Each structure stands twice: as C-alpha cells, then as structure tokens.
Structure 1
Amino acid sequence: MLTRRALPGLFLAAPAFAQAFPQRPIRLVIPFTAGGSNDILGRILAEGMAMRLGVPIVVENRGGAGGVLGNDLVAKAPADGHTVLLAGSGSFVISALTHPRLPYDPERDFTPVGLLGASPNIIAADPRLGIDDLAELREKGRAANPSLTFGTAGAGTTAHALGAMTALTLGIPLEFVHYRGTAPALQDVLAGRVSLISNAAAPFIPFLSAGTLRGIAVAGRERSKVAPAIPTSAEQGFPDLDSATWYGLVTPAGTPDPVRARLLDAMNATLADAPTAARIEEQGCEIETSRTPEDFGRFLARERQRWGVVVDRGRMREG
C-alpha cells in the first residue's frame, strides 16, 4: 500500500548489521542532465537523506538514451546500498519498454526502495506558434507542413510517451526530437527551434510566468498546484490524455533487505519533514511514499503493464 508521508522509523527492527550502513558516501545517480525535474527533486532528496544517514550523498548526472546510460551504471554497481538510482516513469519503465536491446534486465538487475511522489505533466509550446489550447494544437497540427516538432528528454521517456499519446489523441503527426535531458530540449523550444515540449512543471515555471513558454494543458484530471491557470486535458474534452511523472529510488539487485529498509526509512523521514516537503511540492511534485520496498515493487509492476499499452499503441518500440 502506498501512503502519503509514511511514518519514519518503520524499519528500526532491521538486523543489527544494517546499522553499519552506510560506511562511506552514497552516490545518487540521476539519469538525466542537470536542470530538469529529476535533477531538482533528486538534489532536494539527497540533501535530506544525507543528514539522516550521516554521510554525504553525491549526485551524479548521467544523461543519455532516455535514462538507459544512468540505469546501466547502477545495474552494474556493487549491491551494497552505496549506489542508488533516482528512477522515473520514463527513464526506468518506459525506456525499458521501448528499447529492444538493453545492457541490463530492468526487472532482474534492480531492487526497489521506495516511491517519492508524482508530478502532473504539462504540454507546452513556443508562444510564437499562437497555440493556446488542445483544440488549437489539433487544428495547427493537422495543417502544419512540415509537421510540428516535439522535444523530449530522450527516446523512451515520459515526455516521448506523452507526445505519442498526444499525437494519437488529437490525430496529428508529430516529429520527435530527442535530447539528453529536459534542459537542452527546453532551450530549443525557447529559441524557437522546436514547437512543443512536455514535462513535469518544475523546469517550466519561470518561463511560463515570463510568457516565453505557453502552457497548453495539464495532462490529467486535476490542475497543477504550481500552475493553476493551465486547464487540464479533461477540462478541454480530451480525458484520455492523462500522464504524470513519478519518481522513486532503486538499487542494484542483491542489495540486502535491511540496507534498503534503512534507505527507505531515511527517504520517508526526509519527505515527512515539513520544510523539505514544501520545497518538493513547490516543484509541482505531490508526495506519495511507500510503506515498504515490496509495495514499491508492486507499483512498478503495475506501471510496466499500464505503459506497455501506450508504447504498443504509439508504436514506440525501437528496432
């Protein structure tokens, strides 16, 4: 069962040897370049967990291939809890569904720790296109020659999947342009080189406020707390356009259960801290935690099944 702000201290009964962990600094691998929502949230989480674990947590950005490069780095790391991956719906689940030849097994080479939370995804556009809502996007998309371009944080990411879902729902062609993270994709949209982009709200907020980026829709049924003026896809008559980006922690397969439990205990204690929770929620992420690593494992299994349908319908599988 996933609960909001699960109480810290759930795992204090773990075997005594877990208390020896950690023995050195922990490496948190973020499988995207700096500046995106994964990076922002990962660094907030690392700061709080480091205080509770008593060792530094060093953030390492390893972008590329929609998260595959960073995932592979963690899959091959020692299974002692000192290397942790910030997994996401796109980088961890969708990328595994779209890439036919991965250098790791997404189910056998990792073991779950816990869920952090989820952010509703925003579909946004270069304001110079004159698109204010999904109906106008459909009209412009059908008339565009060449097709409108859609920037993503990488092939197989949540942004790629939401772009494919948008094309299917609106019945328009889109040309996908894949980057090594959200920040470079956003730069090209702001510069007018790419038409559209989607992501969790955090990196978009200053540009939406400045008017250099136009919010078209929140892909879901509830408005974003940090961008409340942007109507949802459901409000605009497209309820099937529904996508959120979630974040969680996993470690290499074989990481001892008590070590994972200690990591989750530190994570949940961090998320239960009011000032830290406020910082996370300011980034548009709604906190939702796991009571146990096994709960997060069951969540991952459901996500693989759900996104598998989208990947098949959008013909996103490579090779």
Structure 2
Amino acid sequence: MHRRTALALPLLALPAIARAQSSGRPLRMVIPYTPGGSNDFVGRLLADGMASRLNQPVVVENRGGAGGLIGNDVVAKAAGDGQTILLAGSGSFLISSLVQPRLPYDLEKDFAPVGYIGASPNIITVKPSSHITNLTELQAYGRAASGPLRFGTAGVGSTSHALGAMIGVELGIELEAVHYRGTGPALNDMLGGRLDILTNAAAPFLPHLEAGTLKAVAVAGLRRTAALPDVPSSAEQGFPGLNSATWYGLLASGGTPAPRLAELHAALNDALNDPEIKRRLTESGVEVETLPSPAAFGDFLTEDRKRWARVVSRANLKVD
C-alpha cells in the first residue's frame, strides 16, 4: 500500500513528463459543485486540455452539495492510483473545512497536491431592478431595510458564503445567508428576484451582466479585473477589507505515487500555458498562475488555510 502524502509534504524533485502512457481507462475529475458555476467552467476547460496531454480521456463528474464536502469525499475515498482528481477551490476545500463541525475525511492525509491553476476576484452583484450602483448605496440600503438582506451562497463554507459574511461585517448591515448546492441554482434565484446579493467569480456572471439581467457593484479586491474593467474595486470605493478571490487547483487522492503526481502536474501546467486555454481563462476573470511542483502547491494550501482561518474567525462564519 502506498503511504499517503500530506498536503505540505515536500515531494521528490522529478523531471516533468510531457506525455503519459495511457492506462486504458478514463481519468475522473470531480467538481464539487453543480454545473453552471465558475468551478465547472474551469474544470471542464482543463479536462479537455489535459486529456490530450495525458493521452487518456478525462471524464468530469459534478458532485455538488454540503459546500464541496460531498465531492471532496468522493476523491478522499478513491484509490490512491492517480485516476481520480479533484477540482479544488478556496471555498470548497479550505473554507468548508473551517466552518463544518465534522469532516468525513482527513484534509492532509486523504489528498495529495497536484498543482495550482490561478485565482479569480469575486464580483458583488445585486438585482438589476435595484437602484444600488455601488457599495456605499448598498450600505445605506441595508441599514435602512426593515429586515436582513438575503445573500445567496454556493454552499456552506463556499467563498461566496465567506464573502457574504464579510460584506455584513465591513458594511455594518444585517444579512441572511441562503445556501444552495452550487452557483447555478443560486444564480437562477438571483435572476428570479429572490435574492438581494450574490457574489462569485466572474465567469458565470458575465453573460447576465452583458444582457443587463444582473448588476455588478464591485470587484471584491484591491484592483479591478480585466474581465470587467468598468467595475470598480471594493478598495477604490473605500472598503479595502472586502478582499476575496476564488482560487482553483487540482488534488489527487491520498497515496497517489509521486511519479503520477508529476505526470498530472506536468499535464496541468502544459495545458495552462496553451495560449487558447489561457485566453479563455483570462477572459472569464481567472488570473492564471502556475507553481513549479506539487509540493509548492501543498505549501500554498497550508498557508492559505491559516489566512482563511483568520477571516472565518473575524466574520464569525459558521454553519447555520
């Protein structure tokens, strides 16, 4: 039996493997959200890009629910043979582990880092029928409201859950979280007028913003994003504490041998360096960034979990 690889455990430096020998069976990529969200867009694009480089099909499996825990658990319980990988994110993998009272897996032992993909600043949106055009107006509206404003999340512990709680703290307004099994269902309710606020990475919002069926009031970060250059950042509007980006990365099941992790890492980075894939990710709001090794991604995960632990504590984020 292979020894399981902890997230931050340094892996042996191995030469990049440009093209793997096909195992004869598909590689399974689990996306821990329902179709229609930013994770789904990123995962499917990279599944196509990695398939040719690995010389094996990559089959996407959406397993939404519990803020990412259901999909994460599928990968945690899979054989450590490198045939099952997880499209992990800041919310579904790290934040969920900080707000859920119990996890069905060991965050360190049951997963092995593959590689980092990049990050997308989150966009704060409101209903198009609303008069709100910026964060100051949102603050005034929230303070004058007779009850809490409803904000949708992609699930308990998702990045949208964390950012929604941060909005309440930073703007000093009362908010009520409404949890869904992914961004797609939350977006449907937002478009139907049943939510006041919805945040997410830009990709699933873009067609609705262009069509005028959704209104963006801020990029939750220190600067604007190339995907929405006319939308001011929260820092520009006087709220630098609203700084939240969704990052994406790949993890394999714990116990996956180091040579297989190196294959997957090489295929991922090669796909991310493809001009067409990089263009599509950038246009969707993802700032592409690669790391030199699986171990480097493991180190990133360790440090980012510490950062989010401070955010969760400050916002008093917890399971309702």
Which bracket does the TM-score occupy, shorter chain normalised?
over 0.9
1:112–1:293 contact (8 Å) kept in structure 2? yes
SS in 2 for 1:203: coil
Structure 1's consecutive aligned runs of 4 or more residues displaced over 2 angstroms after TM superposition are: 10-14, 18-23
Q: TM-score, normalised by structure 1?
A: 0.93
**Contact preservation (8 Å) 1:138, 1:170:** yes
Scaled by the length of structure 2, what TM-score is found?
A: 0.93
Residue 22 of structure 1: CA displacement?
3.8
Cα offsets for 1:79-100 (capped at 9, x unmatched) = 0010000000000000000001
Q: CA deviation at 1:11?
A: 4.5
State whether structure 2 residue 300 is matched by structure 1 residue 276. Answer: no
The corresponding residue for 2:78 is 77
The structural deviation recorded for 1:12 is 3.5
Conserved 8 A contact 2:21-2:55: no
2:264 paired residue number:
263
**Range moving further from structure 2, 240-249 or 124-133:** 124-133
Matched, 1:216 2:222: no
Residue 318 of structure 1, CA deviation: 3.2
Q: Which runs of 5+ in 1 are unaligned?
A: 1-9
Do residues 62 (structure 1) and 63 (structure 2) align? yes
Displacement after TM superposition at 1:317 (Å)? 2.8
SS at match of 1:114: strand
Partner of 1:254: 255
Where does residue 144 of structure 2 map in the other structure? 143
CA RMSD of aligned residues (A): 1.5
Counterpart position of 1:190: 191
Cα offset, 1:308, TM superposition: 0.3
Aligned length: 307
Partner of 1:242: 243
Between the aligned partners of 1:13 and 1:281, the Cα distance in structure 2 is 25
Structure 2 counterpart of 1:148, one-letter code: L
Cross-structure match for 1:111: 112
1:175 and 2:166 aligned: no
- Tell me if 1:37 matches 2:33: no
Aligned match of 2:125: 124
CA distance in 2, matches of 1:238, 1:71: 33
3-state DSSP of counterpart to 1:207: helix
Q: Distance in 2 between matches of 1:19 and 1:156?
A: 36
Distance 1:70 1:270 in 2: 23
Moved more, 308-317 or 119-128: 308-317
- Judged with a 3 Å threshold, the aligned counterparts in structure 2 of structure 1 residues 11 and 51 are, in CA distance, closer, same or farther, namely farther
Map of 1:90 onto structure 2: 91
Whether the 8 Å CA contact 1:117–1:289 is kept in 2: the answer is yes
Contact 2:135–2:217 (Cα < 8 Å) also in 1: yes
| Structure 2 residues without counterparts, runs of 5 or longer | 1-12
1:298 equivalent in alignment to 2:303: no
Distance 1:86 1:182 in 2: 15
| Counterpart code for 1:237 | G
